[in-house]
Amino acid sequence: MLTASTTVDDRVGGLSLGADDYLGKPFAFVELVARIRALARRSRPLAPPVLEKAGLWLDPNRREVLRNNRPIYLSLKEFAVLEELMRADGAVVSAECLLERVWDENIDPFTNVVRVTVMTLRRKLGQPPLITTVRGAGYELS
């Protein structure tokens, strides 16, 4: 939103109505260009539409998972955890990170829901195991 209205109430109102950004006049042109570039970065896909690793295929758009061409039916949380692990591309993902990205802000940080979800996910994915626990650090997809 580009406007001459620059009070805090105006900015809060504009953002509350759905504006992605708010810039009051007068403004520096370089700031406008920087804000447009930042907004454009948000709209780009951050990952390929289909993720693949070790015979595992995950399509986030269709919410489908296959392992060695066999469909695997996952709950929404299991799917989201698997997607996070696949997007990490072999890096360790902490339980805290999974809680933050997959569950909402009201989740108890001391819950064992991540451990239980990963255990169920391992069982559904079958053998050989693909998810490894890295003690004190989190989980990785191998």
* Amino acid identity for residue 80 in this structure: A
Cα–Cα distance for residue pair 9/81, rounded to 1 Å: 39
**Higher per-residue confidence, 42 vs 3:** 3
pLDDT of 125 strictly over 90: yes
* Total Cβ atoms within 10 A of residue 126: 12
Residue 86 has pLDDT above 60, yes or no: yes
Q: What is the CA radius of gyration of the chain?
A: 21
Eight-class DSSP state of 7: S
Q: For the chain, what percent of residues have pLDDT higher than 70?
A: 96
Which domains, and CATH codes, for the chain?
2-43 (no CATH), 51-141 (1.10.10.10)
Both tokens of 93, joined, read 């993902």
Mean pLDDT, range 9-18, rounded to an integer: 86
Residue 48's pLDDT band, with cuts at 50, 70 and 90, is low
- Residues 106-133, mean pLDDT to the nearest whole number: 91
pLDDT score at 65: 97
Q: How far is CA 59 from CA 7, 35, 56, 102, 114, in A?
A: 45, 32, 10, 17, 22
Task: Report pLDDT for 122.
Answer: 96
